Structure formats: C-alpha cells, structure tokens
Amino acid sequence: MERKVTLTAHRGWRAKYPENTMRGFREALKLDIDAIEMDAHMTKDYHIVVCHDATLDRTTDKSGSICQLTLDEVRSADAGIKFGEEFKGEKIPTFEEFLELMATRPDLKLLLELKDYPEELGDFAYASAELTLSLCRKYGIFGKDRLTVITFSTGICAWLRTRYTKEDFSIHGFYPKTKMRGWEKDEPYKYYDEVCLFNSGEKDPQGFPIVHDTPVADKARFTEFALMGIKPCVYYKLNTNIEDHRKAFENGAVGFTSDDPDICGEILDKIGARKLKK
C-alpha cells in the first residue's frame, strides 16, 4: 500500500549552515520539505531560546549552561563563527524570533524538541515546556497537523499528556526506550504518536539483538510500532547514503529527518518514497 512520506530539515539546514540559527532556518525554507526541527531551552531569566545543547560550549564562542545564563548572556554568544568565518555574527535565536518566521509558512509543520528535562532540572523543565508551548499557541503554531513535540524525557511525555490532548500536538519519542530518561520508572511508548528508531546499543530492553552493520533498525521494529499506531520515523546523522534510506523506507519509515534535507529529498524522490506528494 502506498503511503505519504515526510521530510524534515534537522536543526535548520545543519549540513550547510550553522545549526539552529535564523540563517539556517531561512535557507531550509527554500527547500522542498514538509517540516523543520529545532530545539528549545529556557534561560535563567525565563526566556526560550533555540539551541541544541544544554551549554553554549560546542556551537558558540562562549561557554556555560543556558539554564544558568540570562537571555542577554546567551545572545552575546556567536553561534556562527565555529561553523565558518562567513557566518560570524549569527546569534542564538529567541524562540519568538523563530516562530515569527514559521508563522509565514502555514504549510510546514514544526518538530519542536524540548531539551530541558525534569529528570535533571526538576520543576524548571516543566515550566520551560509550558512557556514554550504557550508561545506556540500565541503564534498559531498549534494542533496535531502543525506541531509535533519531541523529547528524550518520559517525565515530559507524561506531563504533556496530563495537560494537553492528542489534538493539540503529537508526541515524538525514541527507540530503544533506554534512550528515554526515566524509562525505568514509566513506560514511554504508551505516550508516543511518533517514534524515531535508532539502531544503537547492544540490545533493547525486550532482548532483541541490535546488529551494528547498518544504522537502520530491524524491519520488525518498524512493523510493531506501526501496528501500535505509532508513526515510524528515522534520522541518520549527516548521512546521504541512498541504501540506508532505501532500506528504512522498505522497512516502513514514514518520516525522514535529515541534516542534508536537499540531498535527502532527492534520494526519497529517486526511490519513489514521495510519489504521493502533491
């Protein structure tokens, strides 16, 4: 049976532009994509900013934990210089700055990853999640057709499902469940609408062996999640290998997230994965 496959640009256009910057997001919007993925953290003075890591160290010329810095301190960092001299001066965006851009593209979905975790930050993480989602609602980026919330926290999954409905947004988690914080105390899969399947680790908690000669998970895992009504998705870091994408599609992947959304789109078209796309 034919199925609609979606393509998401990861952290903007990560392979070509500094990740999670307005430059990268604007360039990604020029591509034939279905969604953009980005990451949200809250600052010490309660502002939401767009950055993957909990600290500034890897992607900017500054250091320190975002949750312990003010917005002004975060914005003083250069988020482009480490990627290339030509990107010098790029700032870490505020979430509202990003949402203003997304509001101009009602045809695209937002994959919002909440990066503050209650397993590490307690109530601060719940406050961060609520503030982030209130901003999504403010800018009209809400509803399951417009918004998917991604998290590596079982606690956040549970929190969201006590306060929002499946009509508000989809929840996207990860396989194996050991990648989810708090998985030992609560079953994360019961909260998922979507799942990103990785093929890493020695075995999953059910005992299935994980063979490391491919980043693509076993076909049975895709099938089982599909039977559970959970959308199987994949992300392969900086990977433009057509055979990996072909195998994932054949195994049942419905959503593809890519650092190279331009090349990934070409691959999906070549293997016939997007033939239902209008």
Over range 72-83, report the average pLDDT.
Answer: 98
277 exposure class (CB count in 10 Å sphere: 0-12, 13-18, 19+): middle
Average pLDDT over residues 251-260: 97
Residue 211 confidence (pLDDT): 67
For residue 4, what pLDDT is reported? 84
pLDDT in tens, 89-105: 999 999 999 999 999 99
| C-alpha–C-alpha distance, residues 58 and 158, integer Å | 30
Say yes or no to pLDDT of 214 above 90.
no
Q: For residue 261, give every residue at least 6 positions away whose Cβ sits within 8 Å of its Cβ, in sequence order, or none.
A: 7, 8, 9, 10, 13, 28, 31, 33
Tell if the pTM clears 0.75, that is, is over it: yes
Q: Residue 96 has which token pair?
A: 């509202």
Angle between helices 219-227 and 242-251 (to 10 degrees): 40
The one-letter amino acid at 93 = P
Q: What pLDDT was estimated at residue 21?
A: 98
Give the closest residue to 24 by CA, choosing from 56, 235, 39, 16. 16
- Using the predicted structure, report yes or no on whether residue 1 has a pLDDT greater than 50: no
As a whole number of angstroms, the distance between CA 40 and CA 48 comes to 6
Its sign, for the CA torsion 178, 181, 183, 185, is positive
Does residue 278 register a pLDDT over 90?
no
* Average confidence score pLDDT of the chain: 94
Mean pLDDT of 237-261: 96
Work out the pLDDT band at 207, boundaries 50, 70, 90: low
